[in-house]
Amino acid sequence: MTTPAATGARAGVDLAPLTTLRLGGPARWFVEATDDATAVGAVRAADSAGEPLLLLAGGSNLVIADRGFEGTAVHLATRGVAIDGHGVLRAAAGEDWEAVVARTVAAGYGGLECLSGIPGSVGATPVQNVGAYGVELSDLLLDVELYDRRSGEVRVVPAAELGLGYRTSVLKGTDAAMVLAVRIALHPDGRSAPIRYGELARVLDAEPGMRVPAEQARQAVLALRRGKGMVLDAADHDTWSAGSFFTNPLLDTGEVAPVLERIRARVGADVVVPQYPGGHGRTKLSAAWLIEQAGFRRGHAGPGQRVALSGKHTLALTHRGGGSTADLLALARDVRGGVQSCFDVTLHPEPVLVGCTL
């Protein structure tokens, strides 16, 4: 085996335990970075040696190939959370996102409560522009501190320059930068973001647009997520997932009518097709609803029943134990192909695929 590029790197560390799916092979070299200097140093060393690089923290949005990663994996385990007198949160990339949200609400601040229960690290949130229950990180994000691998510099990038969109940003699909910290503007009055999501509004008995105590909204969100198997629980295989595996399809204006016509031709002319504003004049459809209408029910099993759709939510592909990444991808292809065949709508994966393709 070649000499590691980074100081303190370990050989052949299994990456599966560092992912919420508990899937994936070993990294050729592995660095545990508990501070920014170690993280930046490991990345610089890998870059200087021309070594492939994988950055991971919470592992909630990764699908890693069974053969593992033929390069250096840097595990961001950095810590640090602070809220200043203006209600601005600064959190290190390696912090657990759910723990940070809980801390802000407990401290009397609102804004992030609808993003409660989302697994993963702080550093992943701007990459995906995480969102749930009518709130996206882009609603509150001020800027990110990152290491720019092209320039070799650490710099602060305003949120407006990150190209934040539906589950995407300029950081997604590229390893050109490593997020070190984020800054987020919280609501000092301790009340939630305006309640926009119908399901959450019903649970809270709130009118759309109302703001409620942040803790009240947080508990409602956590209850909804638990009911869908979307809050991590080591004993519950329904939570051994990468969260929502497919993004909700976004249709341009000219695509909407023919797609709806194909859907209704299959499921019935009187069926109400769930659809929502997708921004920039586009329409968003429900991937979970399309999957169900294509004949895939909760608990639908993949190869050897080692993987399956969650028993609580069809949008989550779960590992039931003893499975492989190949098993998971076979199930994903089955689901994607079924929706494509029925409705001519292509589903796109939300997690990052490392060393494998769908």
Kindly list the catalytic residues: 167, 244, 350
Between CA 10 and CA 122 the distance in angstroms is 25
**DSSP E strand stretches across 187-315:** 241-244, 250-251, 275-279, 282-285, 307-309
Q: Do the Cβ atoms of 118 and 219 come closer than 8 Å?
A: no
Between CA 218 and CA 61 the distance in angstroms is 22
Between CA 118 and CA 131 the distance in angstroms is 9
Between CA 20 and CA 4 the distance in angstroms is 27
The alpha carbons of the chain give a radius of gyration, in whole angstroms, of 21
Q: How far is CA 304 from the centre of its chain?
A: 27
DSSP 150: T
Find where tokens 């050989």 sit.
Answer: 11
Write the CB contacts of 2 (distance below 8 Å, at least 6 apart in sequence).
none
Q: Do the Cβ atoms of 141 and 113 come closer than 8 Å?
A: no
Report which of 77, 78, 57 is spatially closest to residue 15, judged by C-alpha positions. Answer: 57
For residue 254, count other CB atoms closer than 10 A to its CB.
7
Between CA 168 and CA 102 the distance in angstroms is 24
Q: Helix 253-267 vs helix 325-343: angle between axes, to the nearest 10 degrees?
A: 90
For residue 16, count other CB atoms closer than 10 A to its CB.
18
**DSSP E strand stretches across the chain:** 10-14, 26-33, 53-56, 62-64, 69-76, 81-83, 88-92, 131-132, 135-136, 141-148, 153-158, 177-185, 241-244, 250-251, 275-279, 282-285, 307-309, 316-319, 352-354
